[in-house]
Structure 1
């Protein structure tokens, strides 16, 4: 369906950052922190629409 363009290290970083932002939102540090849903979702899907637009890949070429 989507071409994978997010590599392993990138996925880990996105999960950590996304989870930290969501945790901050749940703790009441600000509604803007719900933006952490985006890096979390892109890491779980393995594809980033912005990477597609910019032609960036952080995973091996054979990963689809």
Structure 2
């Protein structure tokens, strides 16, 4: 999977999230990073979802 830079503040390109070595965590971070800056509500929802998924992943063996 190749991560592409996503638009940062004011349309500038931001670096992709770093690789953690854990495929599931990397996928969650990539999905969160791909959320556009168009809607604060979408950003809040995406952050909450990423947080929930990361907690679940990091608490599992």
Q: Same fold (TM over 0.5)?
A: no
**Structure with the higher fraction of residues in helix conformation:** 1
- TM-score (norm: length of structure 1): 0.39
Whose Rg is larger?
A: 1
Q: TM-score, normalised by structure 2?
A: 0.40
